[in-house]
Amino acid sequence: MGILNRISTIAKSNINAMLDAAEDPAKMLDQLTRDMRDGIAQSRTEVAKMIADEKELQANAERSQQLADEWQKKAELAMQKGAEDLAREALHRKIDYANNAKVYQDQWAAQHQAVEKAKADLHELEEKYDGAVRNREALLARHRRAQAQSQVAKVSAAMNSFDPASQLGRMEERIRLEEARAQASTELSHDTTEDRFAQLSQDSAIEDELAKLKTKISAPPQIAAPTESEPAKSE
């Protein structure tokens, strides 16, 4: 019964779940179909043995019941002939065979249930094997599609938690900081030695103009000479 238990496990297994757990689904599916094929061959042999045992139990049950019926008839015949002791012995044998028949009947019923279950498991395994072989590429495509859908769901969940406004705000703040740094670098680059000398020249020019202005303001006013139309005044 060991092989049948293993076959039952394979038959009831979820192939898609097994593919999900595999590192290489294609190799896993090929290995699974090989296991199924080998299991089918072994289980057919074992189920055939179980059917043979069932038939033997059935034959024993029927034979024991038949003998019990025969000894019942012999007991009745003995009583009719007045052979009570012989009738008593016939009844003993009838009861023994009837008990044997009951035991065989129970064993036959249990064996029949086991055989039917084994047949069902074998049939299910054969169908799964045929489906796995026939739909190998389709099963792998379904597996890849399920993985892709799972990945899309993960990305979608990550995107739902993303706040564009907040991200843009942080980016704008960073750009403003970079602009301020660039402007400061530009201003510092203009503060060169040439600029300082130019500033000194500009300051000297301003000082010269300022000195001229002071001289002009502090000088006495000049008297204008008389014109020809105006006679000179006598002292």
Q: Which pTM does this prediction carry?
A: 0.50
Average pLDDT over residues 70-93: 93
pLDDT band for position 121 (cuts 50, 70, 90): confident
Per residue in 198-210, pLDDT (tens digit) is: 666 666 777 777 6
Q: What is the C-alpha to C-alpha distance for residues 233 and 225, in angstroms, rounded to an integer? A: 13
Strands (E) in 134-216, as ranges, are none
In the Cβ-directed half-sphere of 40, how many Cα atoms lie within 13 Å? 15
- pLDDT over 50 (residue 147): yes
- pLDDT 10s digits, 10-35: 655 566 666 666 667 777 777 878 88
Confidence of residue 140 (pLDDT cuts 50, 70, 90): confident
CA distances from 102 to 58, 69, 97, 106 (A): 11, 13, 9, 6
Based on the number of CB atoms within 10 Å of its own CB, is 183 exposed (0-12), middle (13-18) or buried (19 or more)? exposed
User: Got the DSSP string for 64-92?
Assistant: HHHHHHHHHHHHHHHHHTT-HHHHHHHHH
